Amino acid sequence: MTQVPNRSYRLRELAAELGLNHRGDDSARISGVGTLSRAGPNDASFLANPAYRDELEHTRAAVVVMTAKAAESYAGNALISANPYADWARLIEHLSPPPPHQPGIHASAVVADTAGIAESASIGPQASIGAGARIGERVRIGPGCVIDDEVVIGDDSLVVARVYIGGRARLGQRVIVHPGVVIGADGFGLAMDRGQWRKVPQVGSVRIGDDCEIGANTTIDRGAIDDTVLDDDVRIDNQVQIAHNVTIGAHTAIAGCVGIAGSTRIGRYCMIAGASGIGGHLDICDSVIITAMSTVLDSIDQPGEYGSGIPARPHGRWKRLLVRLGQLDDWARRLKRIEQLNKNNGSAKP
């Protein structure tokens, strides 16, 4: 259904390449992928979220990646997986590998004499690479990117297009940076000086570990003095703002539109849901989950789930609730008065 180009497999071949057990017609032909509801007869599909279980009944998919347990009640072709979503990812990688990489520097790119570009790297149209920058093996720098002076980008990284990286940032290996990202701009450092703001020069840098992914239009500021740091395998969605001197532990994932203020430390294996805001100078321990649109203003030293997002209600009910909130002070007094009265009445009784 979805056009995923250029490879076709028999089910038995695909199962072998992925190292998965399969069930059903092992000569079934698979050349694309689709959701359960839209897959065509040559598409693979998957079932990871039980909410979509009913769609199994009507799917036309050539094969479905699913758990052994789910397969018990499914009559069609199946690839059996202990982790269907992860194996689904591997399956797509097989069916739809990225286009082959063409090393070389596009004629329209501007590369400083002192920049070091690996032979196997590619620099796209209209890109510019600053003095002393180092671009690793098989790195792809896409069209319109600006890689500023002394930036280092590790092997096999992909900088898609129209990205800015400056502040002498160092990126690890296999990092993916999506369009519009800004890494290494100045942090927001200001000193009030006789009625005027004075800019505090930002001289720290940014360090990004291996296997990180940075979503479109996200910003990661350079440190004020020390560095801003993302450890390995940190995954960041679109339009996230990471201020100077934030540090983020390995394997933490941050959804879209989150803002993290300066000098805050986030632990490992945290998950921060969309549009949350995290204050500055906080310490968030490992394995913390922040629910959507929450405001984190205190450090957290216990793993677990935290939040303060309020689900929307019909306008009339919400307006009334706001009125109630305004009355709480009054209620506190009334509650106390009643209790006092009851106590007096009680004690007044014979």
Residues of this chain, 122-151, that bind a copy of itself according to CB under 8 A = 124-126, 128, 142-144, 146, 148
Q: Which of the residues are catalytic?
A: 244
Give the one residue of 211, 230, 247, 248 binding a copy of itself; rule: CB under 8 A: 211
Give the one residue of 69, 113, 119, 315 binding a copy of itself; rule: CB under 8 A: 315
**294 lies in the site for a copy of itself, by CB under 8 A:** yes
**30 lies in the site for a copy of itself, by CB under 8 A:** no
| Rounded Cα gap, residues 332 and 67, in angstroms | 54
**182 lies in the site for a copy of itself, by CB under 8 A:** yes
Give the one residue of 230, 235, 249, 264 binding a copy of itself; rule: CB under 8 A: 235
Name the residue nearer to a copy of itself (CB basis): 74 or 188.
Answer: 188
The C-alpha angle 263, 267, 270, rounded to 5 degrees, equals: 120
What is the closest distance, in whole angstroms, from the C-beta atom of residue 26 to a copy of itself in the complex?
A: 24
Q: How many residues bind a copy of itself (CB under 8 A)?
A: 124
Stretch that binds a copy of itself, among 9-17, 21-29, 59-67, 230-238 (CB under 8 A): 230-238
- Please, are residues 101 and 122 in contact by the beta-carbon 8 Å criterion? yes
SS3 254: strand
Residues 52 to 81 in contact with a copy of itself, rule: CB under 8 A: none
Give the one residue of 35, 67, 120, 287 binding a copy of itself; rule: CB under 8 A: 35
| Rounded Cα gap, residues 291 and 300, in angstroms | 14
**Long-range contacts of residues 272-277, Cβ cutoff 8 Å, at least 24 apart:** 274/237, 276/309
For residue 347, give every residue at least 6 positions away whose Cβ sits within 8 Å of its Cβ, in sequence order, or none.
none
**47 lies in the site for a copy of itself, by CB under 8 A:** no
156: left (phi over 0), alpha (psi -120 to 50) or beta: left
Q: Is the dihedral of CA 39, 45, 47, 49 positive or negative?
A: negative
- Pull the structure tokens for residue 273: 């849901």
Name the residue nearer to a copy of itself (CB basis): 26 or 155.
Answer: 155
Give the one residue of 221, 247, 249, 266 binding a copy of itself; rule: CB under 8 A: 221
Give the one residue of 60, 132, 180, 285 binding a copy of itself; rule: CB under 8 A: 180
Around Cβ 161, how many Cβ atoms within 10 Å?
20
**16 lies in the site for a copy of itself, by CB under 8 A:** no
User: Closest Cα partner for 169 from 161, 157, 179?
Assistant: 157
**41 lies in the site for a copy of itself, by CB under 8 A:** no
Dihedral Cα 219, 234, 300, 297, nearest 10 deg: 10
